[in-house]
Amino acid sequence: MSTRMELASTVVEDAVSPGPSAGLAGSAGSSAIFEIQDLNVYYRDFHAVTDTSLNIYQNEITALIGPSGCGKSTVLRCLNRMNDLIDGARVEGRVTYHGIDLYGSSVDPVEVRRRVGMVFQKPNPFPKSIYENIVFGPRVAGWKGNFDDLVEETLVRAALWDEVKDKLENSAFDLSGGQQQRLCIARAIATSPDVVLMDEPCSALDPIATYRIETLMRELKKQYTIVVVTHNMQQAARVSDRTAFFSVDVGEEGQRTGRLVEYDMTDRVFTAPSMKETEDYITGRFG
Amino acid sequence: MSDQRPDFHAALKSLEETTLSMADKVEGMVAMAIRSLVNSDKTLVSQVIADDDVVDEIYMEIRSRWMNIMARQQPMGRDLRMMAAILEMNNTLERMGDQSVNIARIAGLTAGLPREETILAKLQEMGDLLKPMIRTAIDAFGRRDADECLLLPAMDVPVDVLNRSMWKHVVACGNDPQLLEWATRMILVSRALERVGDQAVDIGEQVAFLLTGDHQEFLRFHDYDAD
C-alpha cells in the first residue's frame, strides 16, 4: 500500500513523509504512522481528552491503558474518525496519518476507515455467512478480484481458516465468541487496511480465546500497525511494543477529563515507569 | 490514594520483612563464624551450622512465597522490582550463610593447630570491616536508601586488599607443617570473607535497581586496581 494515499477524492500531492519521530525515547528505527499533536476531544460541553500528543509507529502494537473514563477509547476513535459519528463530538489539535491531516477538509472519513480498520469489544459479525462477512466490505468498496481467494487469504491471516474452511456458508453466529472475534479481525483486514484499531478486543473472551487473539496480534503486526485499548494491563504488557498510560482529572464539579501521563516502551512502563502516577496505577495504588 | 490491592501488598511487605529477618540472621552468622575462628570456639561453630539450617529453611520459604505471589499477583512497576530484588537477595543471603559455615567448619577443623597472630589479626580486621558493610546493605534495602548502597563498593576495597595480601603472610609461616596447614586453611577463610564483601555489594546493586529500575554493576576492586 502506498503511504501517499488518496484519502480524498483528489490526490493529496503535498503530503509529506513524517519526519523523525517526535521526541519519544526508543523510537529510533520506527517510523511514525500517526502523529497526534495537542489533541483535545469534546462531546458537546464535556471535555473528554486534553492536550494529548503522541506518535504511533508502523508495524508495532501500541497499547492505550488507564482507568475507566481516561479517554483511551476516545483517542483510539480519533485515529479513524469514528468520533465523527457521535453527535456533538469535536476534535481539536492535529492528527496526521502518513503526514496527512486526518481531519483535513478534503479527507473522506469512509476512506480513512477503510485504511484504519476497527475491532470492537464485543464480537459483532454481520448476520450473514462467514464468507459474506469477509467479502462484504471489499464488495461495497467496489473491489474487483477473486472473492474466494480473498476469503481464504484473509481467514488464513486471521488464523481462522482451518477451523471454518468447511463451513464458510454457515452463519457467523454459529461460531464461538473467540472465533467470532477472529472473524471480525478478518473482516477488518479484508479491506487491506494498514492499521487495525482494537477496542478491548478480548474482554468478552475466555483465556484460551484471548491467547489466540494475542498470538494473532503478534502475527498481524508484521503487516499492520495495531493500536489496542485494554483494561488488562497484563495483556498490554504481553502484546504491545509501546504503552500509553492515560489518567483522569476530576474537576470541581465532577467533570472527568482524560490526560496522557506517560508514553514509553512497554518494557519500561511496566518495570520502571518515569511517572509516579503510572507507577501507582500499575501497582494498584490509586483511587 | 488508596490501595486497590491490599492483600497483594500485605503479602509483598511480609515477604520483604522475612527477607530482612533472614538478612539479620546471616549478619549474625558472619560475625559468629569469625568469633568461632578467632576464639577457637566449637560451640559457636555448632551454632553457625545450626543457624544455617534455619537460613536454608527461610530461603526455601521465601522462594515458595515468591513463586506464589508471582503466579497469583503478576506484580508490576516497583512491586516487580521489589520481587526481583528479593529473589536476588534471597540467593545472595543464602550464599553468605554458606560462607559463614565454611569459615566455621575451618575454625572447627583447625582448633587444635598452632596459629599465627598476624594472619588472625588480618582476618579479624576483615571481619570488622564486613560488619558495617553488611549492616549498610541491609539498611539500604530496608530504608530504600540509594546513598547508603552507593557506599558499599568503597567499603569493600580494604576487604579485597586484605584478602590479596593474605598469601604473603601464609608464605611467611615457613616450614612448620602444622602452622602451614593452619595458614593455608586461613587462605580459604580470607577468600570466604572476601566473597561475603562482594555479596554485600551485590545486595547494594539490588537496592539500586529497586530504586532506579536500572540494572547496574558497581565498580569493584579490580576496577579501581586497573587505574
- Would you give per-residue pLDDT tens digits along chain A (287 residues)? 333 345 543 333 333 222 222 334 344 567 999 999 999 999 999 999 999 999 999 999 999 999 999 999 999 999 999 998 899 999 999 999 999 999 999 999 999 999 999 999 999 999 999 999 999 999 998 999 999 999 999 999 999 999 999 999 999 999 999 999 999 999 999 999 999 999 999 988 888 989 989 999 999 999 999 999 999 999 999 999 999 999 999 988 888 999 999 999 999 999 999 999 999 999 998 87
Nearest Cα residue to A201 out of A163, A173, A227 = A227
**Residues B53 and B20: beta-carbon distance below 8 Å:** no
Task: Confirm whether A24 is domain-assigned.
Answer: no
**Residues B124 and B31: beta-carbon distance below 8 Å:** no
Contact B77 A270 (CB under 8 A): yes
Residue B206, pLDDT > 50, answer yes
Ramachandran region, residue A119 (left: φ > 0; alpha: ψ -120 to 50; beta: rest): beta
Express as a percent the part of chain B with pLDDT over 70.
97
Task: Confirm whether A7 is domain-assigned.
Answer: no
What CATH number is given to the structural domain containing A56?
3.40.50.300
Task: Confirm whether B193 is domain-assigned.
Answer: yes
> What number of other Cβ atoms are within 10 A of residue A232's Cβ?
17
Chain B residues with a Cβ under 8 Å from any Cβ in chain A: 1-5, 8-9, 74-81, 212-214
Nearest Cα residue to B163 out of B146, B186, B140, B142 = B186
Nearest to A272 among B1, B4, B81 (CB): B81
Task: Confirm whether B45 is domain-assigned.
Answer: yes
Q: What are phi and psi of A196, to 5 degrees?
A: -120, 120
Task: Confirm whether A235 is domain-assigned.
Answer: yes
Task: Confirm whether A14 is domain-assigned.
Answer: no
Q: What pLDDT shows up at residue B64?
A: 95
Chain A hits for B212, Cβ within 8 Å: 272
Chain A hits for B80, Cβ within 8 Å: 270-271
**Residues A109 and A7: beta-carbon distance below 8 Å:** no
Residue B13, pLDDT > 70, answer yes
ipTM over 0.85: no
Structural domain boundaries enclosing A76: 32-282
Task: Confirm whether A194 is domain-assigned.
Answer: yes
Helix (H) or strand (E) holding A91: strand A89-97
Which residue from A minimizes the CA distance to B80? A271
Contact A283 B81 (CB under 8 A): no
Nearest to A284 among B5, B80, B213 (CB): B5
Angle between helices B6-38 and B77-109 (to 10 degrees): 20
Task: Confirm whether B157 is domain-assigned.
Answer: yes
Structural domain boundaries enclosing B119: 6-225
Q: What pLDDT shows up at residue A19?
A: 28
At which residue does the C-alpha cell 572447627 appear?
A: B108
C-alpha radius of gyration, chain A, whole number? 19
Chain A hits for B4, Cβ within 8 Å: 284-287
| Rounded Cα distance, A212 and B59, in Å | 38
B78 vs chain A: nearest CA distance in angstroms?
7
Residues B192-200 have a mean pLDDT of: 98
At which residue does the C-alpha cell 611467611 appear?
A: B172
Q: What pLDDT shows up at residue B1?
A: 73
Which residue of B5, B9, B13, B76 is the best one to mutate when testing the A interface, meaning the one whose CB has the most A CBs within 10 A? Answer: B76
What CATH number is given to the structural domain containing B88?
1.20.58.220
Nearest Cα residue to A56 out of A257, A258, A243 = A243
Q: What pLDDT shows up at residue B141?
A: 97
**Residues A154 and A189: beta-carbon distance below 8 Å:** yes
> What number of other Cβ atoms are within 10 A of residue A234's Cβ?
11
Chain A hits for B2, Cβ within 8 Å: 285-287
Contact A271 B8 (CB under 8 A): no
Work out the angle at residue B12's Cα, subtended by the Cα atoms of residues B6 and B15, and round it to the nearest 5 degrees. 140
Grid cell listed for B128: 570488622
Which residue from B minimizes the CA distance to A238? B74
Task: Confirm whether B1 is domain-assigned.
Answer: no
Nearest Cα residue to B214 out of B20, B84, B23, B70 = B84
Cross-strand partners of A40? A92
Contact B75 A283 (CB under 8 A): yes
> What number of other Cβ atoms are within 10 A of residue A158's Cβ?
25
A86 vs chain B: nearest CA distance in angstroms?
34
Grid cell listed for B6: 491490599
The domain total for chain A is 1
Q: Which amino acid is at A166?
A: D
B75 vs chain A: nearest CA distance in angstroms?
7
Residue B16 pLDDT class (50, 70, 90 cuts): very high
The string of pLDDT tens digits covering residues B27-76 is: 999 999 999 999 999 999 999 999 999 999 999 999 999 999 999 999 99
Nearest to A286 among B4, B79, B81 (CB): B4
| Rounded Cα distance, A269 and A273, in Å | 4
Q: What are phi and psi of A99, to 5 degrees?
A: 85, -5
Task: Confirm whether A141 is domain-assigned.
Answer: yes
Which residue from B minimizes the CA distance to A234? B74
Express as a percent the part of chain B with pLDDT over 90.
89
Chain B hits for A286, Cβ within 8 Å: 1-2, 4
Grid cell listed for A95: 492528527
Which residue from B minimizes the CA distance to A237? B76
Contact B2 A280 (CB under 8 A): no
| Rounded Cα distance, B134 and B139, in Å | 9
Task: Confirm whether B90 is domain-assigned.
Answer: yes
Contact A270 B80 (CB under 8 A): yes
User: Helices (H), strands (E): how many in chain A?
Assistant: 10, 10
The domain total for chain B is 1
Task: Confirm whether A151 is domain-assigned.
Answer: yes
Nearest Cα residue to A166 out of A174, A220, A186 = A174
| Rounded Cα distance, A34 and A99, in Å | 8
Contact B77 A278 (CB under 8 A): yes
Which residue of B78, B79, B211, B215 is the best one to mutate when testing the A interface, meaning the one whose CB has the most A CBs within 10 A? Answer: B78
Chain B hits for A237, Cβ within 8 Å: 76
Residue B200 CA neighbour count, 13 Å, CB half:
35
Could you give the 3-state DSSP secondary structure of residue B89? helix
Residues B96-103 have a mean pLDDT of: 98
